[in-house]
Structure 1
Amino acid sequence: MSETNKDRDIHTHALIGERLCLDFANTVSWHDSEDSREWLTSYEQLVGWCLHADILTEQQALSLLQQAEGNPAEATKILEKALEFREAIYRIFSSISNDETPGKTDLSILNGVLVDVYRSIQIIPGEDKFSLQFRKPDDSLAGMLSPIVQSAIDILVSEKDLKRVKKCEGDPCGWLFLDTSRNRSRRWCSMADCGNRAKARRFYQNKK
């Protein structure tokens, strides 16, 4: 049964995924457990996390919260859409971390959100090539989703990054991350968290 983190500060939530979309997917604690804990319990929490993740500036966050206050029904719809999108991302990259093909339904959800934010895409010139990027979040209630979508696409179209997507081995953590270590040896969301628990468990078992 899923629990919430209503009393916990979203601005203290760990950002360990190495990529924005993976950090967004990790806004549920113990994601692989029946005792999972939801962090994004309101539109205000969604905005707060986006501020914490540097998607929004303080001015943009304040503007969105003011809009949400004037249109709470729409803000609730955006939150529901964001959570559906997040869960699709989580399942997609969980499948990839297990060398499995993502489900068609989850890819359809991702593509649906992509269509919604496609109007904000633009061509950016570089030194020797052009790239497609989403403009910075606009002032719409769902504007903060664009950078998260771009982050997911960047991984999915990169053969190098796709092979580095991993899930924490700490059962039942379930958090996702991009293994940027030189020898691709990262196993835990954090050595100070799941890594230490695994060490303590091995020590107890050996002593027993």
Structure 2
Amino acid sequence: MAGTIGPHTFRPRDLVGGHLVIDLVNTVTARDAQPIDWLDGYPRLLEWAALTGHFAPADLADLRRLAEAEPGRAAQALDRTRELREALHDLITALVHQDDPVPAQAVDQVGDHWRHAAARTRLTVRANTPQLQVGIETSGLDYLNDEIALQAFDLLRALPLERTRVCPGQRCGWVFIDSSRGGRRRWCDMGTCGNSAKGRTHYQRKRADDGSGAGAAGP
């Protein structure tokens, strides 16, 4: 990602992707203009993870203590998560746009992250359903990255391409899964990109109408 890194306080309105993995992809904003990476440090990644509700608060507290004790390793773990995020963005958007072939580097990178995560998993059975799980005891500071890599594999196998979109809003480019009944959602969020687009359209129409009126007026 060619862009800048900037601080951001995550809010519920930042989680519009419809899936944990896509919400990670959307921690970069303005991808269609001058991208800004909101993950300006490992603590910010933990802030985002807490907001998703996917991770146990006790696990996040343990990660925070580990990061404070080993800031260098925490920075390396964040770099790996950024790499996974960008590979997922390139792969998912290529699938959405039906690019052929999809970016080989992105496929390889996502595969590498999944294999590293899978090597740290253990098999559990909950509600009679077997599943692979990772934990801090085996993944350490890469726990979030490993969990997201496992989730990404499941998502990519069942990604509803007809419902997965890239927001066309200015300074956006977020990805989202349209879960609306009619399947006609266009914007990542109507309250932000949607309203901004409506405002621009109204302004442009008003200017056009004013210009037409001025041209038609006689002396």
Task: Classify the TM-score, shorter chain.
Answer: 0.7 to 0.9
Give the 3 Å change call, closer, same or farther, for CA 67–4 of structure 1 in structure 2: same
Would you say 1:144 and 2:144 are equivalent positions? yes
Alignment correspondent of 2:83: 84
| Identity between Structure 1 and Structure 2 (%) | 27
TM-score by length of 1: 0.87
Does structure 1 residue 115 correspond to structure 2 residue 145?
no
Cα deviation 1:128-187 (Å, max 9, x = unaligned): xx56x332543410111233223322222126x233211012133100001112222111
SS at match of 1:166: strand
Task: Classify the secondary structure of the residue corresponding to 2:136.
Answer: coil
Deviations along 1:27-65, whole A, 9 cap, x unmatched?
01112222x221111111111211111232222112111
Larger helix proportion of the pair:
2
Q: Check the 8 A contact 1:11/1:48 in 2, yes or no.
A: no
1:175 aligns with 2:174: yes
Verify the 8 A CA contact 1:96 1:165 in the aligned structure 2.
no
Which residue identity does 1:155 align to in structure 2? L
Partners of 1:195 and 1:137 lie apart in 2 by 39
Contact 2:96 2:165 in 1 (8 A): yes
- 2:172 aligns to what SS in structure 1? coil
Change (3 A) 1:32 1:2: same
Q: Which amino acid aligns with 1:75?
A: A
Does the Cα contact within 8 Å between 2:117 and 2:134 map onto a contact in 1? no
Distance in 2 separating the partners of 1:11 and 1:207: 34
Partner SS state of residue 156, structure 1: helix
Classify 1:165/1:55 alpha carbon distance in 2 versus 1 (closer, same or farther; 3 Å). same
Residue 189 (str. 1) matches residue 188 (str. 2): yes
In structure 2, C-alpha distance between the alignment counterparts of 1:42 and 1:181, rounded to whole Å:
34
Distance in structure 1 (CA, Å) of the matches to 2:3 and 2:192: 21
Q: CA deviation at 1:126?
A: 6.3
Q: Which residue of 1 aligns with 2:31?
A: 31
Q: CA deviation at 1:86?
A: 0.4
Structure 1 pair 137–193 and aligned structure 2 pair: CA distance change class (3 A)? farther
Which residue number corresponds to residue 135 of structure 1? 133
Whichever residue aligns with residue 145 of structure 2, its letter is L
1:22 is aligned to 2:25? no
SS in structure 1 of the partner of residue 55 of structure 2 = coil
Unaligned runs of 5+ in 2: 208-219
- Whether 1:69 aligns to 2:68 is yes
**Where does structure 1 differ by over 4 angstroms across 4 or more consecutive aligned residues?**
123-127
Counterpart-to-counterpart distance in 2, 1:12 and 1:138? 26
Provide closer, same or farther for how the CA distance between residues 125 and 44 of structure 1 changes in structure 2, counting only shifts above 3 A.
closer
Larger-Rg structure: 2
Partner-residue secondary structure (3-state), 2:14: coil
What stretches of structure 1 of length at least 5 have no aligned partner? none
Aligned residues between the structures: 202
**In the alignment, which residue of structure 1 is the partner of 2:5?**
4
1: CA distance, partners of 2:117 / 2:141: 12
Offset at residue 23 of structure 1 (A): 0.3
- In structure 2, the CA distance between the partners of 1:191 and 1:89, relative to structure 1 (3 Å rule), is same
Moved more, 77-86 or 47-56: 47-56
Counterpart code for 2:153: I
Q: Secondary structure at the match of 1:32?
A: coil
Cα RMSD for the two superposed structures: 2.1
* In structure 2, C-alpha distance between the alignment counterparts of 1:13 and 1:63, rounded to whole Å: 26
Question: Under a length normalisation based on structure 2, what TM-score does the superposition of the two structures give?
Answer: 0.83
